[in-house]
């Protein structure tokens, strides 16, 4: 599943809104520190990584598209840092 699609599903479920798009900002749909805990928990469960909570409150980096890119970057770093079995 594409990261952006996954994040949209999480936000719609946790915050209880519909019509979340790539341009949607966390705070604009009623996001707050309480529901952020659940959002981060679900992101971590599905991807193995979680972006900094601060990003969700940053007006320039809190769109679904920007947050998805951050999650993808963290996953790449995590995979690159994983030890090679052998």
Q: For the residues of 65-77, what is the DSSP string, one character each?
A: HHHHHHHHHHHHH
Average pLDDT of the residues in 12-31? 96
pLDDT at res. 83: 66
- Fold for the domain defined by 3-81: 1.10.1200
End-to-end CA distance of the chain: give it in Å, rounded. Answer: 30
Model pLDDT, residue 78: 86
Instruction: Give the mean pLDDT of the chain.
Output: 93
DSSP conformation class of 25: B
8 A C-beta contact, residue 42 and residue 3: no
d(CA 16, CA 14): 6
Percent of the chain with pLDDT strictly greater than 70: 94
> What DSSP state is assigned to residue 56?
G
Over residues 45-83, the pLDDT tens digits come to: 999 999 999 999 998 889 999 999 999 999 999 888 766
């Amino acid at each position: 599943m594409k990261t952006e699609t996954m994040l949209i599903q999480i936000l719609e479920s946790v915050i209880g809104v519909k019509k979340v798009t790539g341009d949607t900002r966390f705070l604009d749909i009623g996001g707050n520190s309480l529901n952020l805990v659940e959002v981060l928990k679900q992101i971590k469960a599905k991807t193995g990584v979680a972006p900094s909570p601060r990003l969700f409150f940053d007006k320039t980096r809190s769109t679904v598209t920007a947050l998805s890119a951050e999650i993808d970057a963290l996953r790449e770093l995590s995979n690159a840092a994983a030890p090679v079995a052998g």
